[in-house]
Amino acid sequence: SQTIHQWPATLVQPVGSPLSLECTVEGTSNPNLYWYRQAAGRGLQLLFYSVGIGQISSEVPQNLSASRPQDRQFILSSKKLLLSDSGFYLCAWGDRVDEQYFGPGTRLTVT
Amino acid sequence: GENVEQHPSTLSVQEGDSAVIKCTYSDSASNYFPWYKQELGKRPQLIIDIRSNVGEKKDQRIAVTLNKTAKHFSLHITETQPEDSAVYFCAASDGGSQGNLIFGKGTKLSVKP
């Protein structure tokens, strides 16, 4: 069966510091991968999606970036965090065009 | 692009009663409509989904209905239990080749014992 991992689970970072969040998927190959952000008590905002290695599409302009160095690895990065980057970051995968399954998430607090 | 509206934003029911959450979408090319349940502090979990070639789907106490003509779909939970308390999100596929989902803003369901 498929499993999705995210780390770290929680993170507290000062404003202006860099960020790297990692997501890996097991048990499938060539999945679609997604990064979402959820602000406290709010809905899901799609940040990036990828249909293959090195293929990244961005949904919203921001100071975040994403990379997919391996088939089942998806990384979310920032060079300098802003207070507004705080939130619950969720990675999701899908091996069909539309179904998506979420990872456990990373709760980021920027101070 | 696709837009998904979800109502109500909060819903409180007594244990044993039914709960209904409704969503509307704008893009007639959308053909996949999942529902997710998110408990406090946890990830959204896919609980049921429906495709455009089906009008209704049931799984024990939950069911989803789809009206393609009116562009709306609904989640029905019968015999609600306290453990059904959570935020529920509907979503619709954006109709594009990437298969992205557009989410509603969520409904906070509270089931009172």
Q: pLDDT tens digits for A9-67?
A: 999 999 999 999 999 999 998 999 999 999 888 889 999 999 999 999 988 767 899 99
**Chain A residue with Cα closest to B88:** A43
Half-sphere exposure for B85 (CA within 13 Å, toward CB): 12
CB A87 within 8 A of CB A106: no
Amino acid at B16: G
- What are residue B113's DSSP bridge partners? none
Lowest mean pLDDT among A40-44, A72-76, B19-23, B57-61: A40-44
Contacts of B29 (CB under 8 A, 6+ apart): B95
Q: Which of B34, B89, B100 has its CB closest to that of A43?
A: B89
Reported as a single tens digit per residue, the pLDDT across A66-108 is 999 999 999 999 999 999 999 999 999 998 778 899 999 999 9
Residues of chain B with C-beta less than 8 angstroms from the C-beta of A44: 44, 89, 103
Cα distance between residue B39 and residue B52, in whole Å:
28
- What are residue B109's DSSP bridge partners? B11, B86
Amino acid at A60: V
Cα dihedral A25, A27, A29, A33, rounded to 10, equals: -30
C-alpha distance from A45 to closest chain B C-alpha (Å): 8
